[in-house]
Amino acid sequence: MIAGEREPLLAGKKIVLGVTGGIAAYKAADLASRLKKEGAELRVVMTEAAAEFVQPLTFRVISGNPVHSRQFEEPRVWSVEHVALAEQADLIVVAPATAQIIACMALGLAPDLLSTVLLAARSPILAAPAMNTAMYFHPATQEHLSILRARGVVLIGPDEGGLACGATGTGRMSEPAVIAAAARRLLALSGRLAGRRALVTAGGTRERIDPVRYIGNFSSGKMGYAVAAALAAAGAAVTLISAPAALPPPAGVQFVQTESALAMREAVRERFAASDIVVMAAAVADYRPETAAAEKIKKSGGELVLTLTENPDILAELGRRKQGKIIVGFAAETEEARARGAEKLKRKNADFLVVNDVALPGAGFGVDTNIVSFLYPDGTARDLPLMSKKEIAGLITEEIVRLLPNDNKSAKENENE
């Protein structure tokens, strides 16, 4: 390598690129070229329909390898070939992913080489759905996508824009540069947190007023669940301690359901000593009713006064017993996010704080996107543009990998010494 030249980020990584039959198949050629330029050893598998859109020769030239598609092979070779491709892959990227291949993946169907490779896969899988808007929003496709998400398949897009059918809507394949970046991130992080234990909190706590009412907040849990999934994908053993959230627990994560701030505090305390990484993404209520009524409170015709008592600050308590752990906090603000965040970072003794102004459009509670800054104890900050919560979770994971001491000793090992 010439001095000053950086090593390609995917050097030596074996990537299988599955191309299915949509108009976006032509963009997969650009994606293949980007993956190849980053040093990946690329094998392309095309479905029969994909080969109608783009000549397999295109991918053969770009990848430097024969293209696997039905046109070139006898079906009986599949059984051997799919195992070899699936076993060797560090990552499988399906782009574009049609409704058809998404259905096959969700249901475990294997009618052709690509679906067979996917069924035999052991590596992470990244899929970039692309289809007509109606097909995308059809309940069947949506259910299949949630099955895949729950199994840990990373889905990128689809984006909104002009579609091949002439309409404008959701269904365009994400840009090849975005898919390539996601592939890089997945491979760069894979296994980097092996042997580490992570605790993640998520959701909004509920503080009971009586058996049927509570004080809550608008947190959906999306950010914390995405962080738990990203840490697990990087190899950490993750425990997700969740306040109520209408989301399926991510695959491969140990799940603990809690409700109130006090219950969450107990669950966190039990596991803190054995953890190397703690990410407090939960929106913990600062106050709870002093007493929860045993019976449903009846209307009295007059005023009802609730007395609230302050909840313990779980993060600040952990910060006091930090030792060598990496602690990440969140701060949702509605004004002066930066200044308030800096004060919290200090008070809670975190390694960095993810701050967002929940009043901005596209940021905060409920939505799939967020606009955040990372604040560090030395006063520096990293401002990120609007991105999906999953992408932010990937960046938080990268940051944790960067900050972890390199002694390769987990908290569990230190505890046993």
Question: Which span (55-63, 122-130, 276-284, 395-403) binds ligand C5P, by CB under 6 A?
Answer: 276-284
| Binding test (CB under 6 A) with ligand C5P, winner from 313, 322, 367, 381 | 313
Extract the tokens encoding 366: 């409920």
The yes or no reply on residue 311 touching ligand C5P (CB under 6 A) is yes
Q: Is 416 left (phi over 0), alpha (psi -120 to 50) or beta?
A: alpha
Start-to-end CA distance of the chain, whole Å, equals 43
Q: Are 375 and 348 in contact (CB under 8 A)?
A: no
Among 126, 284, 337, 371, binds ligand C5P (CB under 6 A): 284
Q: Are the C-beta atoms of residues 258 and 285 closer than 8 Å to each other?
A: no
Number of residues forming the site for ligand C5P (CB under 6 A): 14
C-alpha 19/C-alpha 293 separation (Å) is 59
In the bound state with ligand C5P, the residue whose beta carbon lies nearer, of 109 and 395, is 395
Nearer to ligand C5P, 126 or 354 (CB): 354
User: Taking each helix axis from N to C terminus, what angle separates 113-120 and 99-107, rounded to the nearest 10 degrees?
Assistant: 40
Can you read off the two tokens belonging to residue 56? 């397999």
Binds ligand C5P by CB under 6 A, chosen from 31, 228, 229, 282: 282
Q: For 85, phi and psi rounded to 5 degrees?
A: -65, -45
Beta carbons of 35 and 177 less than 8 angstroms apart? no
Does the protein bind ligand C5P through residue 277 (CB under 6 A)? no
User: Of 84, 165, 273, 359, which residue is the catalytic one?
Assistant: 165
Give the separation between CA 393 and CA 395, rounded to whole angstroms: 5
Question: Contact between 358 and ligand C5P (CB under 6 A)?
Answer: no
**Among residues 344, 345, 372, 390, the one that binds ligand C5P under rule CB under 6 A:** 344
Q: Name the one range near ligand C5P by CB under 6 A: 73-81, 87-95, 124-132, 280-288.
A: 280-288
Q: Is 394 in the site for ligand C5P (CB under 6 A)?
A: no
200 touching ligand C5P, by CB under 6 A: no
The window from 41-49, 68-76, 142-150, 323-331 that contacts ligand C5P (CB under 6 A) reads 323-331
Is the dihedral angle over the CA atoms 68, 70, 74, 80 positive or is it negative?
Answer: positive
- The C-alpha angle with vertex 15 and arms to 78 and 277, in degrees rounded to 5, equals 125
Residue closer to ligand C5P (CB basis): 117 or 345: 345
- Alpha-helix runs per DSSP H in 273-388: 314-320, 337-348
Tell me the CA distances in angstroms from 130 to 47, 147, 172, 180, 399, one per residue in order.
15, 17, 5, 16, 31
165 included as an active-site residue: yes
Closer of 349 and 388 to ligand C5P (Cβ) = 349
- 261 belongs to the binding site for ligand C5P (CB under 6 A): yes
Min CB(59)–ligand C5P separation in Å = 46
Radius of gyration of the chain (CA): 24
Cα(95)–Cα(181) distance, integer angstroms: 14
Q: Which amino acid is at 56?
A: P
Q: Which stretch binds ligand C5P (CB under 6 A): 209-217, 327-335, 379-387, 389-397?
A: 327-335
Residue type, 44: V
- Smallest separation (angstroms) from ligand C5P to the CB of 367: 18
| Region from 38-46, 57-65, 328-336, 370-378 binding ligand C5P, contact rule CB under 6 A | 328-336
Residue 327 within binding range of ligand C5P, rule CB under 6 A: no
The strand pairing partners of 43, in sequence order, are 16
Contact pick of 152, 286, 322, 414 for ligand C5P (by CB under 6 A)? 286
Rule CB under 6 A: say whether 203 interacts with ligand C5P. Answer: no
Contact positions vs ligand C5P (CB under 6 A)? 201, 261, 280, 282, 284, 286, 311, 313-315, 329-331, 344
> Which residue numbers are catalytic?
165
